[in-house]
Amino acid sequence: MSSLDFETVTKQEVARLEKLHPTPEDIPGCMGLFDAFLSCNVVGQQIKSLYRFGEMSACGGKLEEFKFCMSLKSMEADEKRDAWIRRRAEWWATRRMQKSSENVWDMRTEPLQNWPPSSHRISNHLTHSQLAMASHFHSVAIARSDMAHIDRSTLKQYPRIVTISRPGTTPMTRSISADEDFFERRNLRITCTIKHMRTDFRPQASEILPNLYLSDMYTATNPNVLRRLGITHVISVVETMWHAFPSDIVHLCLSIHDSPFSDMSYLFDPTVDWMQDAMDGNEHARVLVHCMLGMSRSASVVLAYLMASRGMSLVVALAHVKVRRIIVQPNAGFVKQLMWYERLLRDRERWKSSLR
């Protein structure tokens, strides 16, 4: 077979794949087809390289080497496809952020090491004109690397959203009630449905304490659930937040990737204080903690809160949570960080006892 034949077949194959799946701009709400489109583009490039290698191998008579290379290229295509699929949320977040950037006030604070031990109000680092301007925006963002303790007075001043995000990023301001998309909600529900050994664990909010709930993203972004449970505070432990909550809900977003190598130990104390202030300041407060599945990241935050506020050990806290939400399973890295936090809490108690 000549090189022209291989090139012709390659072009026809790539054209056929692109014809089957439209571009993401044609279907902005359907993430499933967007994944398929990206996958087909990646596979199309792999097909082209396979044909070129096949031409060289066939001329040299290396048929076995050609078959072996095809299997390797297939594995490489699968890896690239999975990488593209994992990046879909970031792609959509960037797309929406460009549309809603005018509704976001992005603020940078001083580095963490410059903050004194006591809590500070965000307003201390904004001029009067900036504060007046910030009142017209939907949210206030604090860089994750410049995280500071957020006290109750600050929450009253900024009742909408107080977000801790990665440096250089801004929180999403997409309304969970006014900008719904059927296909995206359906895909999100499928993503949040976990195959369990006994039965499928459907998206739901699990009551850990009378005023503390743990859930997945699909449930947390359902306005009917928030209204029925009387949620007043939401903690989102996700890498990129897609939705903005109603104005009467105080929102804290912790930008954490679900990986054993992610460090969230430095967030335990500020987050526990934030939750404690929310519950102490209002007896009717209801806090909802969620990540994508309500299994690892958000569960780690809830476990840290139980250990710090209720004096539970990690084993007791984990058993308490698993009884109420059977799928809870923090990854190995978060478990090690929780063990370190347990020792830290124990040392603090010993130090307090020695001062009495």
One-letter-per-residue 3-state SS of 104-156: EEEECCCCHHHCCCCCCCHHHHCCHHHHHHHCCCCEEEEEHHHCCCCCHHHHH
Residue 96 is assigned to a structural domain of this protein = no
Residue 95 is assigned to a structural domain of this protein = no
How much is the pLDDT for 306? 95
Residue 304 and residue 276 share a domain: yes
Residue 161 and residue 48 share a domain: no
Residue 92 is assigned to a structural domain of this protein = no
Residue 180 and residue 107 share a domain: yes
Residue 77 and residue 129 share a domain: no
Residue 98 is assigned to a structural domain of this protein = no
Residue 278 is assigned to a structural domain of this protein = yes
Residue among 88, 89, 144 at smallest CA distance from 263 = 144
Residue 158 and residue 40 share a domain: no
CB 314 within 8 A of CB 342: yes
The β-bridge relationship of strands 206-209 and 212-215 is: antiparallel
Q: pLDDT tens string for the chain (356 positions)?
A: 444 444 455 455 555 545 554 443 333 333 333 333 344 444 455 545 544 544 444 445 444 554 555 555 555 555 665 565 555 545 544 544 444 333 333 333 333 333 333 333 333 344 444 444 443 333 333 333 333 444 444 444 443 333 333 333 333 444 444 444 555 656 666 666 665 555 567 778 899 999 999 998 888 888 888 888 999 999 999 887 666 778 788 888 888 888 888 888 888 999 999 999 888 878 889 999 999 889 899 999 999 999 999 999 999 999 999 999 988 999 999 999 999 999 999 998 888 888 77
Residue 156 and residue 63 share a domain: no
Residue 262 is assigned to a structural domain of this protein = yes
* Structural domain count, the chain: 2
How much is the pLDDT for 289? 95
How much is the pLDDT for 200? 66
Residue 59 and residue 140 share a domain: no
Residue 294 and residue 204 share a domain: yes
CB 310 within 8 A of CB 212: no
Residue 144 is assigned to a structural domain of this protein = yes
Residue 123 and residue 61 share a domain: no
How far the first Cα of the chain sits from its last, in Å, is 88
Domain termination site, one of 54, 86, 118:
86
Structural domain including 13 reads: 3-86
Tell the residue number behind the tokens 């090690």, with chain if given: 336
Residue 233 and residue 141 share a domain: yes
CB 115 within 8 A of CB 147: no
Residue 349 is assigned to a structural domain of this protein = yes
Q: Which of 30, 192, 253, 291 is catalytic?
A: 291
CB 167 within 8 A of CB 143: yes
CA distances from 177 to 173, 222, 223, 237, 346 (A): 12, 8, 6, 21, 44
| Strands across the sheet containing 287-290 | 206-209, 212-215, 287-290, 233-236, 250-253
Residue 185 and residue 53 share a domain: no
Residue 117 and residue 252 share a domain: yes
CATH of the domain at 173: 3.90.190.10
69 is catalytic: no
Domain termination site, one of 55, 86, 117:
86
Domain termination site, one of 86, 114, 144:
86
